[in-house]
Structure 1
Amino acid sequence: MTDTTNTTVVDERADLLEALAKHRHFLRFTTRDLTDEQAGARTTASALCLGGLIKHVTSVERAWAAFIVEGPSAMPDFSAMTEADFAKRADEFRMLPGETLAGVLAEYEEVARSTDELVAKLPDLSASHPLPRAPWNEEGARWSARRVLLHVIAETAQHAGHADIIRESLDGAKTMS
């Protein structure tokens, strides 16, 4: 009898990383050929801009990767955040003075590389931690590394869709055509 456990884990990791890479690509692709000013432009009723979306996804991926390793202590206690904390957090959704699209994309690439390395080295995708305190998290819920990665994939895909709408509103360019 052949042991397929290791092959299954390797395949699962490859599948998760491939899905994440695909959605990262779509998100980054929305910024092709843009200036820093365009990357920071609001083109819809939303306050979102392309550079800000990439900053946000970078922050989210970094935080969840830290959660996989460190547990809830790596995440903010959203239930205890002040108005000033939320205002500072809002800065990740926009391009701030001095920020460049190239710099935002480079930071995203660095975080992506770090996450990919973490996933490749994780001893167990089923290892879990309790979720951090947040109004949107179920009290007492736990997420495995696998579940965290699925969340990061979903978040990246969702924001890639937002980015596509923002880019189309900016200059008519579309990700898929």
Structure 2
Amino acid sequence: MTTNERDDLLESLAAHRRFLLHTVQGLTDDQARKRTTVSELTLGGLIKHVARTEKGWIDFIVDGPAAIAMTENSYAEHADGFVLHEDETLAGVVAEYELIAKRTDELVRTLPDLGAAQPLPEAPWFPPGASRSARRVLIHIVAETAQHAGHADILREAIDGQKTMG
């Protein structure tokens, strides 16, 4: 079976999203807020972070560098993105993530040119004058999701022994 680049991207995104979301199946909100390692990471916070990160990068593809430009509040907003607050629910952040994922998938299907690039905003972690193509951004989203799915698997195993694989 042959696939095209867009199908490959969609398949990769779907697979890593499944792994990530598997780690929170059957958890309570309190379990999703629980720190199970010495890090600050929680399962609810990871879902929230991955969703916000994906949204930000998709906004970048569509709207350009202002979508991810650093502001005075950016660092606090970034840190807050890892926290499932008492007024938030795991079901709520999962639902938000699913909506963001649908938007991303639709963009992958319909974007006229995956090679279309946007300039990156000025930031210490981006080379001056650099840009990113939609393709490279989508590959980054796949990598980000996969990395955090691995983190989530460790956190979940510490709660009740459940593993995504194995």
Give the match for residue 123 of structure 1: 112
Q: Which moved more, 1:130-139 or 1:118-127?
A: 130-139
Give the match for residue 89 of structure 2: 100
CA distance in 2 between counterparts of 1:85 and 1:116 reads 26
Asked which structure has the greater CA Rg, the reply is 1
Partner SS state of residue 143, structure 1: strand
Give the match for residue 136 of structure 2: 147
* Deviating 4+ runs (over 4 angstroms): none
Root mean square deviation of aligned Cα: 1.4
Pairing 1:1-177 to 2, within 5 Å after superposition:
11-77=4-70, 81-82=71-72, 85-177=74-166
Cα distance per residue 1:64-118 (max 9 Å; x no partner): 00111111011132xxx44x54223211101101111110100000000011011
**Higher fraction of helix:** 1
CA distance in 2 between counterparts of 1:157 and 1:48 reads 16
TM-score of the superposition, structure 1-length normalised? Answer: 0.89
Read off the aligned partner of 2:100 and give its amino acid letter.
V
Partner SS state of residue 103, structure 2: helix
**Structure 1 stretches lacking a partner, 5+ long:** 1-7
CA distance in 1 between counterparts of 2:52 and 2:158 reads 25
Read off the aligned partner of 1:61 and give its amino acid letter.
E
CA distance in 2 between counterparts of 1:65 and 1:167 reads 28
CA distance in 2 between counterparts of 1:18 and 1:88 reads 30
**Structure 2 stretches lacking a partner, 5+ long:** none
CA distance in 2 between counterparts of 1:85 and 1:74 reads 11
CA shift for structure 1 position 136: 1.1
CA distance in 1 between counterparts of 2:21 and 2:107 reads 21
CA distance in 2 between counterparts of 1:134 and 1:162 reads 26
TM-score of the superposition, structure 2-length normalised? Answer: 0.95
Partner SS state of residue 112, structure 2: coil
